[in-house]
Amino acid sequence: MKNIKRLLLVGSLALTLMAAIAITIVTATGQTLKPVTLNAGDNITVNCNNGKILVTNSNEGVTLKCAGAPVIEGFVGVSEGASLLGTVNIEVKVQSGSSPISLVIFDLFQGTKRLDSRNEASPPYFYYGANQGKPNGWDTTKLPDGDYSLLVTANSTDGQSSNARINFIIKNAALPPATTTPPATTDKGVCGESSEMWHPPVVTGTDGKPCNTGHEHGDEPPKWISDAGYMVMFHGHFSTSPLENTAKHAAMKGFSTRFGDTDVYFRIHAASNPLDHSARYHSYEVWARDSSGAVSHWQGWNNTGDPITDRIVRRQGVESSVRPIMLVVDQTSLAQGIGCEQWYSTTARWSWDFGWTICGATTFYTPGENTTASDQSTWKLTGSLGGTRRLEAAWYIFRAHPTGKFYATQFGDIVSGLNDAKCSATSVKYGVTYQNVCLEQYIAPTMKQVSFPNNAIQKDFDVTGVKIPN
C-alpha cells in the first residue's frame, strides 16, 4: 500500500480507492500539483490550510481543491471599544480566499440579542450599504445609548466563510440639541455648514464673516423636539438615497406651525426642479406635540406619483382628481398667472396625508426632463426662488394605527422590530426593487386628530443669497 502526502497544513481528507484513478490536487492559490495515479486499495491523505477540501468528479478522475476562506482584514470607521454618536460610516475590509466573495453579512447585537441584519454583495462593504462607492451612513441616534457589537461574516462562492466581531458604545447623549452648533461632520457646505442639520441661508463662515450658503431649509426645528429627546437630521437612515445629503440636500425643508391645539414640525424633501420631479418617493418626518405635551414622531417615504405620467401641467380652470400627483408649472402656466407647483403625497394609512405647494416654482417643467435631470445646465429657470410655501396636513384618529413605539418600513409596513426578516428584505413597488429600511415610529396615546378646516397654512421664508437648486 502506498501512502502519498501533499502537505498543505491543517485539516485533512483521506480517500481509499477500489480501482485505478487519477487525482489532481489544486492549492488555495490556484497552483495545480502533479497528478497522482492510485491503484485499488491505495490511500492518499491531503492536508488543507485554513479551509476545506472540495471534491470534483470527472471522466478524467478526481480533483481535490484546498479552498481558502475569506480573510477579514479589519474595520474602518470604528475601533474596538470606541464611542459612536450621530451618523457614522463603518466599513469592513475583506480579502477573498481561493474564491471570490459572494456576500458580506452585518449583524448588530446588543448583548446576545440581534437587532439588525444586513447583506452586502459587492465592495465597498459598508454597514447600511453604499451608493456609487459613497456610504449611506448609519444613524446611531435611532438606538438608545449602550454597549453594542457588530458581527461581520464574509462568505465566498465556494461555501467558505470567516467572521469578525467588534464592540463599541453608542453615546448620543453627548450630542448637542438640534438648535445649537452641530457635531463635526465630513459633509460640509460652501460656508463650512453641516450638510446633515438645519442651518439658515446665511451662516458665519470659516473666516468668521457672514457667508451665503446658497440654499435654505425653511423653519428651524422648534426646541420642544430636542426637549423630547429627538434630533432633527436632514440626512440619515430615512433618506431615499445618499443624494439627499449631496445634490438633493437643498431640497430638505422644515415647516413649523400649529394646527388647532397641536404643534407640528414637518421635515420634507421637496423642491421644484427636474431632479426632484424625477423621483416617485421622497423622505419625510413629522413631529407633533399634542395638548397633553406628548410628542409623537412619524417617518418614512411619501409617494408623489409616477415621474412621467403623474407630472401634470397646471392650467387655469383645470383641476386633476388623480392622487398622488404633482402639478407642475410650464411657461404657459406662468403666462396664465399660475406660478405655484403643488405636490400631493400618500404615506402609510396610519401616518399623515399632506400636500406641499411651492410658490414660485424655480424651474419650468419640460416633458422628458427626467432624462437629463442631473445636468443642471439643462434646467429652465423661472427666476423665482420658491420662498413661499404652503402646507396642508391631516392625521385621522379613526384610521387604524398603533400607539407607543413601533417600527415600520419606509413604505409603512409595520414590522415586529429591527430584527424582523422584512427589515433585511426587499420590496417591489411599481416595478422597482427597493432595499427595505425599518424606521422607528412613536404615536402618543393622547395624539388628537388634525384635519380640515384648521390644517393648512402658507408662509414666506428667508431666501437671502439663495441660488438654484433650492
Model confidence over 78-104: pLDDT tens digits? 888 888 888 889 999 998 877 788 889
Model confidence over 122-170: pLDDT tens digits? 889 999 998 888 888 898 888 888 889 999 999 888 777 888 899 998 8
pTM listed for this prediction: 0.62
Q: How far apart are CA 452 and CA 67, in angstroms?
A: 67
Dig out the grid coordinates for 108 from the structure: 448588530
For residue 349, the model assigns a pLDDT of 95
Question: Position 186: which residue type?
Answer: T
113 has a pLDDT exceeding 70: yes
Q: How far apart are CA 381 and CA 364, in angstroms?
A: 6
Rounded mean pLDDT of 441-452? 95
Dig out the grid coordinates for 421 from the structure: 426578516
9 has a pLDDT exceeding 50: no
For residue 29, the model assigns a pLDDT of 56
For residue 48, the model assigns a pLDDT of 66
Whether the CB-CB separation of 62 and 47 falls below 8 Å is answered with no
Dihedral of CA atoms 364, 370, 371, 376 in degrees, nearest 10, equals 50
For residue 151, the model assigns a pLDDT of 93
Whether the CB-CB separation of 47 and 10 falls below 8 Å is answered with yes
For residue 158, the model assigns a pLDDT of 78
SS3 310: coil
Model confidence over 230-279: pLDDT tens digits? 989 877 778 887 777 777 888 999 999 999 999 999 999 999 999 999 99
| pLDDT class of 69 with cuts at 50, 70, 90 | confident
Q: How far apart are CA 443 and CA 295, in angstroms?
A: 8
63 has a pLDDT exceeding 90: no
15 has a pLDDT exceeding 70: no
Domains observed in the chain: 3-68 (no CATH), 71-173 (2.60.40.10), 177-460 (no CATH)
Taken in order 304, 310, 314, 317, the sign of the CA dihedral is negative
What percent of the chain lies above the pLDDT cut of 90? 49
| pLDDT class of 2 with cuts at 50, 70, 90 | very low
Dig out the grid coordinates for 113 from the structure: 440579542
Model confidence over 277-324: pLDDT tens digits? 999 999 999 999 999 999 999 999 999 999 999 999 999 988 777 777
Q: Which residue would you say has higher pLDDT here, 303 or 173?
A: 303
For residue 126, the model assigns a pLDDT of 94
Residue 117: φ, ψ to 5°: -140, 125
